[in-house]
């Protein structure tokens, strides 16, 4: 799984929580880093901010949608801009969810990610790690 966000402090919170919860997560700070990662590693899910320092998140999403491999990767937008200001995402074939950063509750997001990816959660993680 890949998180694309240039806010290092926020990324550290996501990395700490999601990795703690058993979600394999990598981080890219720029659109260019993310594009290279996606083309070389094909993550199971992408969390992307729309405002990146080099390439707009929307541009990345549209670029990936045109590719047969990266276009199949589910994308969840996590942004400070409201979904109502970005209605284009409804037409993007690989975008499944849109989260407003200020409303994200990391443990809840973790549950949703694990359910989407078919990863164990709750007692199943503890039992798997203990066994």
Residue 52: give the domain boundaries. 2-130
Residue pair 101/50 in contact by the 8 Å Cβ criterion? no
**Any idea of the CA torsion for 48, 53, 59, 60, to the nearest 10 degrees?**
-50
Mean pLDDT of the chain: 90
CATH classification of the domain holding 94: 3.40.50.2300
* Beta pairing partners, 78: 99
* Averaged pLDDT, 72-98: 89
More confident residue, 69 or 90: 69
Summarised one tens digit per residue, pLDDT across range 10-50 is 999 999 999 999 999 999 999 999 999 999 999 999 999 99
Residue 123 has pLDDT above 60, yes or no: no
Alpha helices in the chain (DSSP H): 8-20, 31-41, 57-65, 106-117, 123-130
% pLDDT > 70, the chain: 92
% pLDDT > 90, the chain: 79
Structural domain tally of the chain? 1
Residue corresponding to tokens 């058993």: 22
Instruction: Kindly indicate the confidence band of residue 122, based on its pLDDT and cuts at 50, 70 and 90.
Output: low
Report CA 30 to chain centroid distance, whole Å: 13
| Confidence (pLDDT) at 131 | 42
| Confidence (pLDDT) at 115 | 92
> How far apart, in whole angstroms, are the C-alpha atoms of residue 76 and residue 98?
6
């Amino acid at each position: 799984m890949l998180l694309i966000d240039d806010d290092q402090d926020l990324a550290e919170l996501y990395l700490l929580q999601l990795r703690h919860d058993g979600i394999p997560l990598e981080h890219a700070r720029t659109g260019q880093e993310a594009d290279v990662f996606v083309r070389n590693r094909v993550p199971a899910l992408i969390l992307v901010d729309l405002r990146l320092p080099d390439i707009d998140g929307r541009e990345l999403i549209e670029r990936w949608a045109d590719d047969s491999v990266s276009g199949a990767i589910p994308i969840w937008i996590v942004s400070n801009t409201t979904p109502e200001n970005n209605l284009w995402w409804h037409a993007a074939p690989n975008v499944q969810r849109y989260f407003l950063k200020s409303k994200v509750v990391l443990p809840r997001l973790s549950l949703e990610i694990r359910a989407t990816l078919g990863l164990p959660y709750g007692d199943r993680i503890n039992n798997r790690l203990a066994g």
